A and B are shown apart, each in its own frame.
Chain A
Amino acid sequence: MGTSQAPLDRIAAALRAPSGWLLAAIFATWLVAVARAPLDSMQGVIQKILYVHPPLAFAAYLGFSLTAIGGALFLWRGDEAYDRLARSAAEVGVLFCTLMIVTGPIWAKGTWGRWWSWDLRLTITLLLWFVYLAYLLLRSFTEGSERAARFAAVYGIAGLLVIPPNNLGRGSLGEGMGTPFALGAAVCLVAFLHLLTRRVEIEGLRARLAEKLLAPRGAGRA
């Protein structure tokens, strides 16, 4: 029967529960670490956004990279499981990127005194956010799943090649900031992984359901 799971779906299913438990555990630790981190003498409480904002960026860029890689693998191998990975990664990446774009200006207003500055890093992030929102729109506006997957794969790859996120990880951490920052990065990456696995699982179930509904009557029970 056509209900066999692709290796990717099996990996996602296997990772789902452990990543959830791990997330619960380190999320609590991270909250305590951020609360106990020294207060910045200049910026005050608002500086604590720095324990959230850059980790969100790692997760967002990871999502967009996985979208491009999944798309490339789909075009190369023609396996729809890679397309499901690309689509899921784009959705989760856009979610993290949105959170990053919301938290960034809050910190900037408190520190620089203005909500937004058009420096290279902010501009690139904003453009990538637009690109992958358009990616999701393109998917929903294209009829036929195979065609939508092809179109989206080309666009997802082009987006990352044309607007490369080339300036991660600038700046340095003060004393006492290392642990909560590292924990923040871990929380975001595990949260990303957890959401991604759930999303991939849903896409897999959806594909299997569609397959079942399309299969001739009786064959589904064999």
Chain B
Amino acid sequence: MNTLAAILWKDLVSEWRSRDRVVAMGLFAFLVVVVLRFALPGTDPAEVRRLAPGLLWVAYVFAALLGLNRAFALELENDALAGLALAPADRGWVFLGKAAANFVLLAVVQAATAIVFGVAFALDLWPVAGRLALVVALGSLGICAVGTLFSAVAVRTRYREVMLPLLLLPLLMPVLLGAVAATAALVADGVLPFPPIQLLLVTDATFLIVSFVGFEYVLDE
């Protein structure tokens, strides 16, 4: 538990001092929103309501990929990853600390992106903000779990910026399926149906267990 807090604190402090990951992710997500808006010119409000949930999650996933790619970049310098691996602590907690840091950074970016998205597509998300935040948190949990695991893998391969999306995107489909369905219901009728939430909970649990156990094997020595 102390390990988790220490890793989380370390990542957040170093991010606070540079703020480069959050700024890069946020800017990228805004650009994706703008690109999507220009790719769908002259859409009427009903059409926007139908498409918005999927588009929002496209922006979220791209921003997450960008951020996750850098999650272990700092640890590569001065071989700090070896230090993490050799630390006399359970690697599962190290993993949870890294994943929690990614989750926090992603949440900041997601909140800002939702506001920009609402403005760009003239969509009032405010009445469902609380429940939307719950859905987004559940989706991000799954993304950050497998994302952190395979970020640690991809960072030590050639073409690592390409490798992470190739590894991650097929695995993320169950999360996206649930998250988009839940968001769509929220945007359309303002109600949160249980089946997509159930799917999100089940996939989150699977992802967390797989990543918690798998992390043990992806650090060297």
Contact = CB atoms under 8 A, between A and B. Distances in A.
Q: Do A and B bind each other?
A: yes
B17 interface: no
B203 interface: yes
Interface in A104-159: 123, 127-128, 130-131, 134, 137-138, 141-143, 147, 150-151, 153-155, 157-159
A33 interface: no
A75 interface: yes
Given A141-B158, A142-B156, A162 B167 contact: no
A151 B153 contact: yes
Interface string B147-160: 00110010011110
Nearest to B174: A162
Contacts of A127: 170, 173
Interface string B162-182: 010011011101100000000
Interface in B30-68: none
Interface residues of B, number: 25
A162 to B, nearest CB: 5
A222 interface: no
Interface stretch (B20-28, B93-101, B106-114, B212-220): B212-220
B210 interface: yes
Contacts of A141: 157-159, 163
A154 B217 contact: yes
B14 interface: no
B153 A138 contact: yes
Contact of A161 (B156, B169, B206): B206
A138 B170 CA distance: 14
Contacts of A123: 173
Interface of A: 75, 123, 127-128, 130-131, 134, 137-138, 141-143, 147, 150-151, 153-155, 157-159, 161-163
